[in-house]
Chains A and B, each alone.
Chain A
Amino acid sequence: MSKFRKSNAKDTPAVSTASLPDIVFMLLFFFMVTTTMREVTLKVRTTLPTATELSKLEKKSLVSYIYVGPPQKQYTKMFGTEPRIQLNDVFAKVSDIPDFILAERAARDEAEIPFMVTSLKVDEFTKMQIVGEIKQELRKAAALHINYSSRKPLQNK
């Protein structure tokens, strides 16, 4: 018995770090594949409402986003606390939406235009007035396909 114990008790060899790069690279590739780049800095807070009948937005490149919600803390001095619209990186008015849609269309291929979707990321507690106005503008701009962005409820019933 003592023959075995002796060699063990003296010094445990250090954990080999030769495979560390492999592990880290694996993690890196995992995150590169599963995540998407942040495209805009959010200036408004949007807590999305919950819904169960969700459909995924399939082609990310064909989606244009409209954010609506109360401005983040650092902007409240300038813009107040009432819900505002954000297009790209700036605060906007409802009347800016047709121009935004036209710009989004111009950036895409002509063949892809019919498949474009507008995703509305609206804060749960926003009043419907602003949403109604946005929808009216979208109708005028003939961007009829929309998606009310929402998240899954945490527990299933």
Chain B
Amino acid sequence: MADIAFMLLIFFLVATTMDVDSGLERVLPQMPPENQEQDDTPPIKERNVFSVLLDANNRLMVEGELIRVEDLREKAKEFMTNPRNLETLPETKPTEIPFIGNFEVTKGVISLRNDFGTQYGMYISVQNELVAAVNELRDEMASSTFGKTYANCNSEQREAIRMAIPSRISEAEPKMVGGKK
């Protein structure tokens, strides 16, 4: 009896893996229709764009400054909230949101562009920081309005928070600038 069970046990140990698959979830933008010649979307104002650039040597440039990955989260949060109503940070648009009431929703867009030579690991850590910034803001909002974390809110409350703090991360198509494949 034990022998048979041992054999089965060893079979399962060899043939299976234990890792749970988890990762950063993203949604790619839709492919534009091919016959679309000129795009008629209005241009986005300079102050509403948070430009994040990654070069072939894994250097990170945000809004024209070289910074470290560790500082990106704070910068992104400041950009998304514009706490002191600065001229250089994005405009806000008052919107009526259920549960929360009138809220100044940011018009900011995070624009991420990487080089062909950028390392994937670096790209993921930058993406991770940007997602983390949005998640932290949502968590703060959830605890101040509903008194619990975003993960514990029900779907209507989450919807309201998502409206108040949208996650707009757009990725430009990569450019070949750094040379050297």
CA distance A123 to B124 in the complex (A): 11
| Residue of A whose beta carbon sits closest to that of B20 | A56
Q: Which residues of A contact B119 (CB under 8 A)?
A: 124-128
Say yes or no: A147-B121 contact (C-beta < 8 A), given A21-B2, A132-B116.
Answer: no
* Residues in B92-126 with C-beta less than 8 Å from chain A: 114-121, 123-125
Q: Which residues of A contact B121 (CB under 8 A)?
A: 49-50, 124-125
Q: Can you list 24 A-B contacts with CB-CB less than 8 angstroms, sorted by A residue number?
A: A17-B2, A24-B6, A31-B13, A32-B12, A37-B16, A49-B121, A49-B125, A51-B125, A53-B132, A55-B22, A55-B25, A127-B117, A127-B118, A128-B120, A129-B174, A132-B174, A139-B29, A139-B31, A140-B31, A144-B27, A147-B24, A147-B25, A148-B24, A151-B22
Query: Is B135's CB within 8 Å of the partner chain A?
Result: yes
Q: Which residues of B contact A9 (CB under 8 A)?
A: none
| Residue of B whose beta carbon sits closest to that of A35 | B16
CA distance A21 to B127 in the complex (A): 50
Query: Is B84's CB within 8 Å of the partner chain A?
Result: no
Say yes or no: A24-B9 contact (C-beta < 8 A), given A53-B128, A128-B174.
Answer: yes
Shortest distance between the CB of A30 and any CB in chain B (Å): 9
Q: Which residues of A contact B23 (CB under 8 A)?
A: 51, 54-55, 57, 119-120, 147-150
* Residues in A142-157 with C-beta less than 8 Å from chain B: 142, 144-152
Contact flags (1/0) for A59-85 with B, using CB distance below 8 Å?
010010000000000000000000000
CA distance A156 to B95 in the complex (A): 37
Say yes or no: A144-B30 contact (C-beta < 8 A), given A127-B118, A149-B23.
Answer: yes
Say yes or no: A139-B28 contact (C-beta < 8 A), given A128-B123, A148-B127.
Answer: yes
Q: Which residues of A contact B123 (CB under 8 A)?
A: 128, 131
CA distance A117 to B21 in the complex (A): 12
CA distance A21 to B6 in the complex (A): 8
Interface centre among A38, A119, A128, A151 (most CB of B within 10 A): A128
Interface size class of B (residues with CB under 8 A): 35 or more
| Residue of A whose beta carbon sits closest to that of B30 | A144
Query: Is B68's CB within 8 Å of the partner chain A?
Result: no
A contacts with B: majority SS: mixed
Shortest distance between the CB of B58 and any CB in chain A (Å): 10
Shortest distance between the CB of B112 and any CB in chain A (Å): 11
Contact B181 A129 (CB under 8 A): yes
CA distance A120 to B8 in the complex (A): 32
Shortest distance between the CB of B102 and any CB in chain A (Å): 29
Contact flags (1/0) for A29-41 with B, using CB distance below 8 Å?
0011011111000
CA distance A152 to B2 in the complex (A): 37
Say yes or no: A135-B28 contact (C-beta < 8 A), given A21-B1, A51-B128, A149-B22.
Answer: yes
| Residue of B whose beta carbon sits closest to that of A139 | B31
